[in-house]
Chains A and B, each alone.
Chain A
Amino acid sequence: MIQIKNLRKVYRTEEIETTALDHVNVEIADGEFVAIMGPSGCGKSTLLNVLGMLDNPSTGEYNFWGEEISKYSERQRAKLRKGNIGFVFQSFNLIDELTVYENVELPLLYLGKSAAERKELVETVLTRMNIMHRKDHFPQQLSGGQQQRVAIARAVVAKPKLILADEPTGNLDSTNGEEVMKLLQQLNEEGTTIIMVTHSPYDANYSHRIINLFDGHVVTENVNTKFHI
C-alpha cells in the first residue's frame, strides 16, 4: 500500500540546513496498524506529514497505492488526500466555530457529497462514536475525550483507506486515552490502515508494528507481539 524509499527531508534556512529524515525506507501493508516512536525532534511528525501528503520529501520515492507521488504539486496532493486519508491530531484541531455535526460533515462537503448522503454518513459515524447526542454542541462545550472522538469521527466519515494519527492520546487522561485507542483498533480491525505517531509505549502496544526513529533514521522495526485484545 505505502512504500517509501531513500526518503530525505531537509529544512533549509538562510544559515543552517537541518536533516529531519535521512534515507528512510518504510513499507506499510494494507490493513496494517503501525506505530512510529522516538524521542522529540527525531522526525516522527515530519514522516507523518510526508506520509499524509501535507509535505513533499526533498529526495526519495513515495509510492501510494501504486502511484508515485513524491513530486506531486500541492494541488495534486490535495486532490489525492481528499477521501483517501483521515487525520487525527493530538490537539484535536476541530473548528471552534462549527458544531460537532458540522465539523464531521466538512470532509464530505469538500468531496461534493449530496446533503442526504452527508446526513446519513455523519449520523452513522456520530452514533458509532457515541457522540450523536452532542451533535449540536460546539467543540469548546465538550471534554477532551469527546473532542477526540469527534476528531476521529471526522477522520473516518469519508471512509479513507488510511488514518494518520499524531499522538492521538497526548492531550487525554488515561481513561479517555484508552477509549480512543480502542476506537482506532476497532477501525483497524474493520480494514482501515492506521499509522500513529506516539510517545507512549502503552499506546504503541495497540499496533502491529513499531518503527523507531532516531535523528531522522529508522533504527529499529519491531513486530509487536504484545497486542491488546
Chain B
Amino acid sequence: MLSNYLKIALRNLWRNKTYSAINLFGLAFGIATCLLISFYILDELSYDRFLTNADRVYRINSDIRFGGSDTHTSNSSAPMAAALVQNYPEIEAAARILNQAPGMIWKGSEKIQEKEVYADSSIFEVLGIPLLSGNPKTALNQPHTVVITRKMALKYFNTVEAVGKTLRVNDSQYYKVTGVIEDFPSTSHLKTDLFFSMLDNANSRQDYWLSHNFYTYLLLKPGVSPKKVEQQIQQLFVRRAGPFIQQTLGKSMAELEAAGSYLRYSLMPITDIHLYSDRVDEMNPPSNIQYVYIFSAIALFILVIACINFMNLATARSAHRAKEVGVRKVLGSGNGNLIGQFLTESVLLSLMAFAISLLLAELALPAFNNLADKQLTLNFFKDWYLFPVLLLFALLVGVLAGSYPAFYLSAFEPARVLKGKLTTGMRSGWLRSSLVVFQFFSSVFLMICTLAIYNQLKFIQKEKVGFNRDQVVMLNGVYGPQVQALKNEILRIPGVQSGTVTGYLPIPSWRGDNSFFPEGEVVQERAVQMQEWYVDTDYTKTLGLKIIAGRNFSPGMATDSSGIILNETAVKLFGYANPIGKKISAIEDMQTGQTRELTVIGVVKNFNYESLRENVGALSLQLSSRPAGWANFRLQSKNLPETMGQIEQVWKKLMPGQPFQSQFMDEAFDNIYRSEQRIGNVFMAFAITAIVIACLGLFGLAAYSAERRTKEIGVRKVLGASEIQLITLLSSDFIRLIGIAFLIASPLAWYVMDQWLEGFAYRITLNIWLFLLAGGLALAVALLTVSSQAIKASLTNPVRSLKSE
C-alpha cells in the first residue's frame, strides 16, 4: 500500500510541476531559513559552555550608586578575589583578569598589537582551560611570564612547542612563554590570545576596595549556592571597605546606604555573560537574550508561513483530488487509508524540501555568517546527531503541513464528488483566508520592524551628537617622546586643519571617572561622580565642541593646568547658576582621600560620549600631557587620499617600526551600533524571505482561484466586463485579506518596536508613514503576484473558458 501511495505522490508531483515547485521551494526556503536561525540560536546559547568548569564558574558584577551617578560594571576590586578564597571555603578558587595590554609584541622588525590581558596564575584552573603544554598551576606564578594561544605560538615561533621561548614586548621587556593553550572558539566571551602574569601589574597588589578594574571569576565548590556567596561578598566588602569609607567620608556603610548610595555585588554565571550581561565594560560586546527570543519567533513564523502554503495549495487543489478520493472510497478505501495516503504525500514532499533546504542552507551560510557576524559551519560528520534531529523535524513539518489537507480531503463524500458536486476547490474558504491573513500579518509585522530598526539607526547616524565626527582621522599607538613632534609635523601638512593628542574620545576609547566636590564640601552628599578626561588645548576645536560659557584652555595661560571645563550635565549636578570661576575638589589619592583644587574655566555644550542608548552623563575636561595613545586630526575633505599618504609618511619617519593604524571617527562611531545594524540586516533578510514565501503561496492560490472561476470570467466577459473590471474582481479578495493582515500587524509591531526603542535615550517616534509604507509594500508585492494570474485569466477567450466547464 505504501508503495502505491509513494507512486501516486511522485506522479502527482511530476504532473503538477508548477504547484509542486511552489510547494517544494516554499517549504525548502522556510526550512532552510529555520535551520539557519536554529544554528544561530544554538551558537548563541553555547557561549562558554566549552569550559570544563562552565557550570561552577561565576563572575562578580558590581552595581554602584554614588555622587549622582549609577555605575554597572563587570569589574570588581583588586583585593576581592584573594580575600574571598581566604575567608570562605565554599569558594574553591578565584582568578582575576585585567583588560590592559602590556604593549606591542615584536615580530622581526615589526611591532604588533595583540589581544592581551594580565591574569592570575589560577585562571586556567578556575575556568578549566587545559594547557597544550606547560603546567597550568605554575604557568603564571612568576613575573615576566606569558601563556599564549596556539595561533600566537604559530605566528611568533612557527611551532606549537613554544614553552621556554621568549617574546619581546614594547622596547625592551622580555616575557618567557610558560604555557600554550588552544585558541578560544568563537563562542567564548574571552577573545584573548596572550595572558601575561598579573605579578607584572602593580595595581593588582593594591589593597584598595573602592576601585573596580578587575574581572574576578570564582570557581564555587559543587552544590554551593551562588546566592549565599553573594551575601558573603557583601559581608566581606563591608568589613574590609567600611573603615576606609568611614575615614574618607566620615560615614559608616549603613549611613551611606541610608543616604541613597550603595555598592552591591552579584554573581553572574559565566555561561550567562554573552546573552544576559548589560554591562558596558565587557571585554567583548555581548549579545542579548531578547534577540534569541525574537529570532526563535521569526523561525517559527517563517516555518508556519511555509506550512500554510502547503495546506492552502493542497486544499485549493482539492477539486483535482476529489475524484480520486471518491473512486478510492468506492473501491473500499476507508478514511484512515486516505489520511495515510495524503500524509505520506506531504511527508514525502517535506523530506524532499528538507533535502533541498540543506543544500540551500549550506549555500546561504557564508552570506548568513556575514550578515549575522558569525562563524557557523554545517558539518554532519562532526555533528552527526543533527541528522536524526533534523530528519525528525522534517517528518514533523510534513505531518503538520499535511494533516489539515489529509483530513479535509478524506472527508469527501464519494457519491457527491463522483457526481461532480464538489467542483470548487475553494470550500472552507474562511480557513484558507485566515491562513493567508496570518502569512501577511507575519510579513507586514517583520517589515514594520525592519523599517523601524533602519530608521532608528539612520536617526542615530544623523543625530546631532554635539561633536563633529566627519573627516577626523584617529591614529592609534601614539606613545613615546616623539608624540608632540608627530602632532606638529602632521599639522604642517596642507590638508590637515587641526589635531589633538588624547585617548579620551566620544567613541569607545579611554574612560576614567572620579568623585568631585564643591570647594570645602568634601562630604558624600555633595559628591558628583563624573568622567575625568585628559586632553590638550586643541581638543574642543578638533572635535568641533562648543564652549557655551567661559573659555577653552589656552596655551599661554599657566594657570590652566588647574583649570577644568565641565559639561552641562556636570554644571547641573553641582547646582551652579554661574559656574565660571567656581572652585571644585577632585579626589587625588584614593587611599588617603587627599584632594586637589580645580577652577572651572568653561562650560562645554553636552555631547554624546557614550552610545545614544544613554543620556549624556557628567563630564569634565582637564589639561594633561600624560601618555595619550591616540592622535586625532581633522582633515579637509579634498585630496583626502593624498593627505592620508602624507600623514603615513610622517608616521614612518617619526615612529619607525610601529605599525600605522588609522581609523576615521565616523566609522568608529558607526561600530557602536554594529549589533543593531546586524540585527537590522538579519531582520531585513527574514522579512524578505517571509514575504517571498507568502507570495509563492499567494501565486499558487491566485492561479487556482482564476482557474476555479474560469466559467464565471467567461460569462462576465460575454456580458461585457472589461479586463480591468475582471482583474479588480479577481484581486479584490486578496487585497481585503492583506488589509486585515495589516490592521492586525500594525498595533502589534508598534508595541514591540516601542519596547525596543525604550532602550535608546535618543529615539525616533513611530510615524504612521512607516506603517503605511510596510503595508503598501506588502500590498504592491501581493498585487503584482495576483494580478499576473488575473490578467492571464481575463485575457482568455470566453468561448474557451465556457467550453472548459
Contacts and interface: CB of A to CB of B under 8 A. Distances in A.
A75 B334 contact: yes
B419 interface: yes
A93 B418 contact: yes
Nearest to B4: A109
Nearest to B324: A95
A93 B326 contact: yes
A75 B411 CA distance: 12
Given A97-B12, A97-B15, A110 B333 contact: yes
B414 interface: yes
B12 A82 contact: no
Contacts of A52: 330
B332 A110 contact: yes
Contacts of B323: 93, 95
A52 to B, nearest CB: 8
A83 B332 contact: yes
A111 B332 contact: yes
B53 to A, nearest CB: 61
A124 to B, nearest CB: 18
Interface string A73-107: 00100100111000101000111111000100011
Contacts of B7: 97-98, 102
Interface in B304-344: 323-324, 326-335, 337
A9 to B, nearest CB: 11
B195 to A, nearest CB: 68
A178 interface: no
Interface in B403-433: 413-415, 418-419
Contact of A95 (B327, B329, B419): B327
B331 A110 contact: yes
A203 B222 CA distance: 92
B1 interface: yes
Contacts of B227: none
B419 A78 contact: no
> Chain A: interface residue count, which band?
20 to 34
Most buried by A among B8, B332, B419: B332
A55 interface: yes
Interface residues of B, number: 25
B330 A87 contact: yes
Interface in B274-330: 323-324, 326-330
A45 interface: yes
Most buried by A among B4, B7, B328, B331: B331
Nearest to B8: A97
Most buried by B among A97, A106, A109: A97
A95 B4 CA distance: 12
Contacts of B335: 75
B653 interface: no
A149 interface: no
Nearest to B9: A97
A20 to B, nearest CB: 11
Contacts of A111: 332
A154 interface: yes
Nearest to A92: B327
Contact of B8 (A54, A83, A95): A95
Nearest to B414: A54
A106 B4 CA distance: 9
A109 B1 contact: yes
A94 B331 CA distance: 11
Nearest to A97: B11
B331 A154 contact: yes
B418 A81 contact: no
A224 B413 CA distance: 35
Contacts of B413: 54-55
A78 B8 CA distance: 22
A176 interface: no
A47 B444 CA distance: 54
Contact of A54 (B1, B11, B15, B415): B415
Contacts of A107: 331-332
Nearest to A111: B332
Interface string A141-157: 00000000000001000
Contacts of A98: 7-8, 11
A185 interface: no
Nearest to A52: B330
Interface string A108-123: 0111000000000000
Contact of B332 (A82, A95, A96): A82
A19 to B, nearest CB: 17
A135 to B, nearest CB: 15
Nearest to A85: B330
A212 interface: no
A59 interface: no
A54 B330 contact: yes
A89 B418 contact: yes
A54 B330 CA distance: 7
Contacts of A49: 415
Given A55-B415, A81-B332, A109-B4, 12 more contacts: A49-B415, A75-B334, A75-B335, A83-B332, A87-B331, A93-B323, A95-B323, A95-B327, A96-B15, A98-B8, A106-B331, A110-B328
4 closest A-B pairs by CB: A82-B332, A110-B332, A54-B415, A97-B11
Interface of A: 45, 49, 52, 54-55, 75, 78, 81-83, 87, 89, 93-98, 102, 106-107, 109-111, 154
18 contacts: A49-B415, A54-B330, A54-B415, A54-B418, A55-B413, A78-B333, A87-B331, A89-B418, A93-B323, A93-B326, A93-B330, A95-B8, A98-B11, A106-B331, A110-B328, A110-B332, A110-B333, A154-B331
